[in-house]
Amino acid sequence: MKFLSLATISAFALAVAAAPANTKTKAKVAILGGGVSGISAAKNLVAQGITDFVIVEARDELGGRAHDIPFAGIRVEKGCNWVQGLGTNPINQLAKKWGLKTVTDNSDNVEFRDNHGLINATKEYNEFSDALDAINDLAVKRQKNHEVDISARTAFKLVGWNPLTSVEQAVEYYGFDWEFAEDPDVTSNYYAEVNNDSYDGNFGKDSDGNNFVVDQRGFKHIFLQEAKQFLKPNDPRLLLKTTVKNIKYSDSGVTISTKEGGVIEADYAISTFSIGVLQNDDVTWTPELPDWKRVGLFGFHMATYLKLFLAWDKPFWDINKEYVVYADPDNRGYYNSWQNLIAPGFFPQNTTSNVFFVTVTQDQAYRVEALPDAEIKKEVTEVLSSMYGKKVPEPDHMYVPRWHSDPLYRGTYSNWPIGELDQHHINMKAPVKRVWFTGEAMSKDYFGFLQGAWIDGGETGDNVAQCIKKSCPKQPYYPTIKLANEKTSFTKRQEWA
């Protein structure tokens, strides 16, 4: 199959400049955001015969959180990095369709270290793996019995996992936080199980597994290729470098004001903003979104998964190990999960791209983001020197993604917290007058995953097309969410004798 060169793809991505200031644009549909869900929504609008739309994107290219950057002589994925779920998973199918280069990684190819060097954590690792399976089984059992949701932390304790040592905590962080980008204390046990199942069987018998993207065209390549099927170079429907400031909505239409001074008038709008943006005042609404909507939005979590990229002239780590987990004696999650990008099958070892990066999440991610780069380099060097029992030089290259503080995202992907009900999530996704909402967070089964963004975006595009062609499909929402009747929702109260 013939592919565009990196330069040609970049030219396509940058072909359209920002809409001139103080101009007015009219369209039937305004798609707000040019990420994966926005591209999928546009694709399905076109499939339904709706071509009068605009895609409004603040950055200078499409792709959203599928965002690669040049680093130490190669391109690395600042954002999403794995095809998570194989088989008929649409992201896997797109990867095959467009020849995306991936490698199979193995999170079990891991060694553990503390501040004194190499340690044996096989016992703790196996015990945690068993506990994780047990809380998934517990979630299914409690759901079948119509029992209320509990946190993953409560579930872990119920099945006998209570990490007290630094090694146990490090193993748990690697097995849980590294996936959900938040800890078990705040995460719903039931929806952690739903999320786990989203790539462990929902896409057929061969769906289990993850492929790590190493394609130098970037993960976004497959989405740019899909966009090319309905967008032409210099397509006036693509408004790059255009940042939404305010959305005014009514029963008759939507008016979008941009920071650049432009105005877009549309019959319908599709918001693809991340849940993090919707929780902040980066975009304002006129009138303010109703309380039933805001409660659902504000109750969900936008997690932060920060990949701190580091590279050295020469590797000092075992290049045959794909992962290294650090058990800090004092702080759970402190520079915990390391990945070696010169492991066999990944990137070749050379003098510029010996990349060894570390992932931090939640509070550790917020803390690292707030530090100056010089302080981060110092911390990392101290940790690595203690891990390897020798003086490690400061990295020659470092890149710190600051997703949480970026007003275009306010985080990396969503996580279902304890306390968020199905009804809250339905309200979160429900349209408000002529504004529809989509994105990975709006997907009940695939929140936090690229397939959630792609599937939900496509479904929303179909729904809006129906609004234009016939009538809008009915979308449920709950104006109020109240406690159910005690007699029907609770077992009979019992008292101690």
The pLDDT > 90 percentage for the chain reads: 87
Residue 161 pLDDT more than 90?
A: yes
Q: How confident is the model at residue 341 (pLDDT cuts 50, 70, 90)?
A: very high
Q: How confident is the model at residue 194 (pLDDT cuts 50, 70, 90)?
A: confident
If one compares 16 and 37, the residue with the highest pLDDT of the two is 37
Residue 49 pLDDT more than 70?
A: yes
The pLDDT > 70 percentage for the chain reads: 92
**C-alpha span between 360 and 339 (Å, rounded):** 12
Residue 209 pLDDT more than 70?
A: yes
Residue 491 pLDDT more than 60?
A: no
Rounded mean pLDDT, 190-206: 74
Q: Is 198 among the annotated ligand-binding positions?
A: no
Q: Letter for the amino acid at 271?
A: S
Q: How confident is the model at residue 199 (pLDDT cuts 50, 70, 90)?
A: low
Q: How confident is the model at residue 206 (pLDDT cuts 50, 70, 90)?
A: confident
Model confidence over 170-179: pLDDT tens digits?
A: 999 999 999 9
Q: Is 57 among the annotated ligand-binding positions?
A: yes
If one compares 143 and 487, the residue with the highest pLDDT of the two is 143
pLDDT, residue 323, reads: 98
Q: How many residues does the chain have?
A: 497
Residue 16 pLDDT more than 90?
A: no
β-pair partners for 213: 102
pLDDT, residue 493, reads: 60
β-pair partners for 306: 360
pLDDT, residue 205, reads: 72
pLDDT, residue 313, reads: 94
Domain 6-65+220-300+410-469 indexed as CATH 3.50.50.60: yes
Residue 78 pLDDT more than 70?
A: yes
Q: CB 195: neighbour CB atoms within 10 A?
A: 24
Kindly list the distances between the CA atom of residue 302 and the CA atoms of 111, 273, 274, 275, 386, in Å, as whole numbers in the listed order: 30, 12, 8, 6, 33
Residue 483 pLDDT more than 90?
A: no
Residue extents of the structural domains in the chain = 6-65+220-300+410-469
Q: How confident is the model at residue 2 (pLDDT cuts 50, 70, 90)?
A: very low
Q: How confident is the model at residue 487 (pLDDT cuts 50, 70, 90)?
A: low
Model confidence over 417-474: pLDDT tens digits?
A: 999 999 999 999 999 999 999 999 999 999 999 999 999 999 999 999 999 999 999 9
Residue 21 pLDDT more than 90?
A: no
Rounded mean pLDDT, 95-119: 97
pLDDT, residue 494, reads: 63
Indicate the average pLDDT of the chain: 92
Q: Is 244 among the annotated ligand-binding positions?
A: yes
- What's the 3-state SS for 242-297? CCEEEEEECCCCEEEEECCCCEEEEEEEEECCCHHHHCCCCCEEECCCCHHHHHHH
Q: Is 37 among the annotated ligand-binding positions?
A: yes
Q: How confident is the model at residue 351 (pLDDT cuts 50, 70, 90)?
A: confident
pLDDT, residue 490, reads: 53
**C-alpha span between 315 and 297 (Å, rounded):** 44
Model confidence over 220-245: pLDDT tens digits?
A: 999 999 999 999 999 999 999 999 99
pLDDT, residue 13, reads: 45
Kindly list the distances between the CA atom of residue 344 and the CA atoms of 89, 163, 173, 223, 319, in Å, as whole numbers in the listed order: 26, 33, 25, 28, 8
**C-alpha span between 362 and 244 (Å, rounded):** 27
Give 131's contacts (C-beta < 8 A, 6+ positions apart): 156, 159, 160, 161
pLDDT, residue 492, reads: 62
